[in-house]
């Protein structure tokens, strides 16, 4: 048995549009659900957890025309108002603070008064609310640098 459909009749056009919308909505919902399942499978279900590497300050020192350029990194977990104190150690083992006030708003400084030493070492200590935090830091043995 054949059914004849008059495509010029308004009800048949509306019916076809409704069926097309229904099919596209179901397809869109399936794609959305599939993408959520795929995302959860890739991230292991941790939708709100942020993955971060275990980084250090990455203290680096290099010879510069005006002294020694020292740079370090700010960590993602550092508060906005963090400052830093930079310390220099020479062959005699005595640590001297390079800056007068905590370094705020930057993560590099030029040590314009380096002591003439074969093995300079630098250390950085974070300062929060005017108090220096005592955390172990990696020190850079400047005398062993190929630069």
* 113, 85 contact by CB (below 8 A): no
Which residues does 121 contact at the CB level (< 8 Å), separation at least 6?
A: 88, 89, 90, 139, 140, 141, 142
Tokens matching residue 107: 């993560």
* pLDDT for residue 35: 74
69, 37: one domain: no
28, 76: one domain: no
21, 68: one domain: no
67, 36: one domain: no
34, 94: one domain: no
36, 65: one domain: no
Terminal CA-CA length for the chain:
90
98, 80: one domain: yes
Tokens matching residue 42: 């890739």
67, 42: one domain: no
44, 81: one domain: no
Backbone angles phi, psi at 112, to 5 degrees: -85, -10
Decide which of 110 and 22 is more confident. Answer: 110
21, 80: one domain: no
Q: Which domain holds residue 19?
A: 1-51
Tokens matching residue 23: 């099919």
pTM for the full model? 0.58
33, 71: one domain: no
Q: Count up the domains in the chain and report the number.
A: 2
Residue from 120, 113, 126, 122 nearest 85 by CA: 126
Q: What is the pLDDT of residues 106-128, one digit of tens each?
A: 899 999 887 776 678 888 999 99
38, 68: one domain: no
Which residues does 72 contact at the CB level (< 8 Å), separation at least 6?
A: 57, 58, 59, 60, 84, 107, 108, 124
CA dist 93 and 95 (Å) reads 6
**CATH number reported for the structural domain that contains residue 81 in this entry:** 2.60.40.10
Q: What is the pLDDT of residues 66-105, one digit of tens each?
A: 888 999 999 888 899 999 999 988 878 888 999 999 999 8
């Amino acid at each position: 048995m054949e059914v004849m459909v008059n495509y010029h009749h308004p009800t048949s056009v509306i019916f076809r549009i409704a069926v097309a919308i229904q099919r596209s909505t179901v397809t869109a919902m399936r794609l959305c659900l599939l993408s959520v399942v795929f995302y959860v499978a890739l991230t292991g279900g941790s939708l709100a957890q942020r993955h971060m590497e275990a980084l250090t300050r990455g203290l680096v020192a290099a010879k510069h025309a005006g002294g020694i350029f020292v740079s370090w990194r700010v960590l993602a977990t550092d508060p906005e108002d963090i400052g830093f104190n930079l310390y220099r150690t020479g062959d005699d083992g005595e640590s001297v603070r390079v800056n007068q006030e905590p370094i705020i708003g930057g993560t590099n400084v030029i040590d314009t008064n380096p002591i003439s030493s074969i093995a300079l070492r630098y250390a950085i200590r974070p300062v929060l609310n005017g108090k220096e935090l005592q955390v172990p830091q990696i020190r850079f043995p400047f005398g062993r640098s190929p630069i």
